[in-house]
Structure 1
Amino acid sequence: MPVNKPNLSKFWRTATVLATTGVLAVGCGGGASDVAGGDQGAAGADTTLTLVAYAVPEPGWSKIIPAFAASEEGKGVAVRTSYGASGDQSRAVADGKPADIVNFSVEPDVTRLVKADKVADDWSAGNTKGVPFGSVVSLVVRKGNPKGIKDWDDLLQPGLEVVTPSPLSSGSAKWNLLAPYAAKSNGGKDSAAGLDFVNKLVTEHVKTRPGSGREATDVFLQGTGDVLISYENEAINVERQGKDVEHVNPPQTFKIENPVAVVKTSAHADKAKALENFLFTAEGQKLWAEAGFRPVDPAVAADFAKDFPTPEKLWTIADLGGWKEVDPALFDKDNGSITKIYKQATG
């Protein structure tokens, strides 16, 4: 869809973020200087796995990793972590960044590694398609919701500034924009209407380009913007930190599915697989739920139903034809419809 909007590049402010690294239960020398979650089990560790992940699941992994280390399967296993923008992390692993297991925001970031012969073709063959947890797209507002934000149309209020990461680097940005696109296009049936809304949102109300979902949160917490489009789990995380924000789940929103895969070139593929399997155990699912993520195990989900309200309409990537159709149509780096909107808005 052609986009004819004025160039707003002078209004944009850019920010960059480096992937943060840490080691939990480090057993080998040469670890990163930042330690994520402590050093439980370090003395007895004889295997170190490297987890490369997108920016916002750290609260969940900080619970999962020590619990795995305390299990029979995880005995003697340390985990080094690297967090950053999903697309950037995926490209880095494809280019040779060491990784034993990956957790990305969107399926195409794993598909890139399949094409690079680093992840097996059948990585998503299980019942949950390689997705151990998920979330929904949420709207984070200032305490008391002074702008009265309830639904997507409220984001188009004159003068309202919206913070969301750039889909050119961030997987969370794709989910964030698919939510209003699906709502306004009736699940892709009227693509022009969906793109028109996204165009107005981006060109008139999005003034920053954070590189990742976590960086977008930081920008918002530092005072930029009136509304942050984010994951529900990220909203829960910052609320638990006592920040002066609250979140609203619009009546129509989008199901977020965050895949995990073992890197087949790993020297410790058996241990990486054991860690992946642990994510789907009842204990692992409970830990994800406690960290604010929606579990995929129906029994655990039922136990946490009060924490995760059901939207009036929850669109899914399958409703739009799946990532194989959506990613090239909307987010191709040169010809994607939403990519073009971003590029024109930023000059």
Structure 2
Amino acid sequence: MRSATTLVVVAALAWLLAACGGGSTDTPGGVDISSGSRHLNLIAYATPKPGFDLIIPAFRATPEGHGIGFSQSYGASGDQSRKVARGLPADVVNFSVAPDVTRLVKAGVVDKDWENQAPNHSVPFGSVVALVVRQGNPKNIHDWSDLLRPGITVVTPNPGSSGSAKWNLLAPYAAESEGGKNPQAGLDYVRALVRDHVRVLPKSGREATTAFEQGQGDVLISYENEAIMLKRHNATTNATQRVDYVIPPQTFKIENPVAVVNTSDDKPAARAFVNYLFTPPAQRLWAQAGFRPVDPAVVAETAGDFPGRIERLWTIDDLGGWKKTDKALFGTSGSISKIYDEEAGR
């Protein structure tokens, strides 16, 4: 069994690889994953790269994964989804939000029943929305109301391109609106946040993390796994911008779906890889990379890796599901999109 120190170092190295940005990655951890008699193209949003850098070599070491090579592309979730819809070769997709998969259903490249083709509605891992702060939490940030205090600057990506931005904004929206019961209260909070406190608009969650690491902002709204990896990275480097993170008492459950593309040249290999993501060994690797597993046994086994007491964990179902919520709040005519058009960057 690996020591805790070894796990931290491996995870930190994976984070360093992820910090280099999107694009194809052939040799995470020194393992050549580009070669093989069969080949899969993984198109994903930026954040889970540290997890896939651990999971892909592990999958290739199984009988099902033997001889399967991989190409990987990472970027902002919405941008990646649109590229696949326009014809970018893909075998497996992993996006931040379900609407980015729905776009591919409409384009005819993902089956309508994709949510039923894998366990847990095709969500192999997840996270919760967290608040990343400077080491020691000098601004005394603990809850959503603290972000609206005078002088607090906040980093969160642009919801026009980033799926993680949607999760980030749904967390305070749900908390302030009591799960959508008072939508105006939630929108008023988002408007105040964007108008008075958001000063930079990164395209993806990864770019937002990089901006914060470089010293921009007092608070980064992010996935818990990003906070975990950033703190681990700090522990293994001489970073000048060291961080801590807090989980607000009310936050949001993040669910990141995966799907097989029906135009894949090797659907059996793509299906085998997706199925592997839900196995206990892969679930432990997701947890090791800072993501919350979904297998109940592994959830219990790794509970100590995710400290923080959550009083109310809102879900997308509390707001009426993605179809309703995405149309009402995001897209070209959504209420939060309009707020960004009117207030962002001021």
Give, in whole Å, the separation in 2 of the partners of 1:137 and 1:37. 28
Unaligned runs of 5+ in 1: 1-16, 25-34
1:23 to 5, 22, 25: 25
Structure 1 contact 68–275 (Cα < 8 Å) conserved: yes
> Structure 1 residue 99: deviation in Å?
0.8
Letter in 1 for 2:247: N
The residue number in structure 1 matching 2:44 is 53
Structure 1 contact 51–101 (Cα < 8 Å) conserved: yes
Find the residue that maps to 1:184 and give its secondary structure: helix
Alignment of 1:208-247 (within 5 A): 208-242=200-234, 243=239, 244-247=242-245
Give, in whole Å, the separation in 2 of the partners of 1:19 and 1:305. 30
The residue number in structure 2 matching 1:94 is 85
> Structure 1 residue 308: deviation in Å?
1.7
Deviation track 1:169-197 (CA, whole Å, cap 9, x = no partner) reads 00000000000000000000000000000
The TM-score, its normalising length taken from structure 2, stands at 0.90
The residue number in structure 1 matching 2:106 is 115
Find the residue that maps to 1:256 and give its secondary structure: strand
> Structure 1 residue 20: deviation in Å?
1.6
**Higher helix residue share:** 2
The residue number in structure 2 matching 1:316 is 315
> Structure 1 residue 23: deviation in Å?
3.4
The TM-score, its normalising length taken from structure 1, stands at 0.89
The residue number in structure 2 matching 1:164 is 156
Letter in 2 for 1:168: G
**Identical amino acids, percent of aligned pairs:** 61
Give, in whole Å, the separation in 2 of the partners of 1:157 and 1:46. 57
**Aligned pairs, number:** 319
Find the residue that maps to 1:166 and give its secondary structure: coil
Find the residue that maps to 1:128 and give its secondary structure: helix
The residue number in structure 2 matching 1:182 is 174
Letter in 2 for 1:82: S
Give, in whole Å, the separation in 2 of the partners of 1:272 and 1:110. 16
Unaligned runs of 5+ in 2: 1-18
Structure 2 contact 329–335 (Cα < 8 Å) conserved: yes
Give, in whole Å, the separation in 1 of the partners of 2:115 and 2:301. 26
Alignment of 1:118-133 (within 5 A): 118-125=109-116, 126-133=118-125
Find the residue that maps to 1:56 and give its secondary structure: coil
The residue number in structure 1 matching 2:97 is 106
Deviation track 1:271-317 (CA, whole Å, cap 9, x = no partner) reads 01100000000111111011100000010000011112351110000
Structure 1 contact 19–82 (Cα < 8 Å) conserved: no
Give, in whole Å, the separation in 1 of the partners of 2:292 and 2:147. 25
Residues 262 and 199 of structure 1: CA distance in aligned 2, closer, same or farther (over 3 Å): same
Letter in 1 for 2:139: K
Letter in 2 for 1:257: E
**RMSD over equivalenced CA pairs, Å:** 1.5
Letter in 1 for 2:321: G
Structure 1 contact 140–245 (Cα < 8 Å) conserved: yes
2:261 to 260, 263, 284: 263
> Structure 1 residue 39: deviation in Å?
3.3
Structure 2 contact 179–319 (Cα < 8 Å) conserved: yes
Q: Which moved more, 1:240-249 or 1:303-312?
A: 303-312
Give, in whole Å, the separation in 2 of the partners of 1:208 and 1:177. 15
Give, in whole Å, the separation in 2 of the partners of 1:59 and 1:41. 15
The residue number in structure 1 matching 2:300 is 302
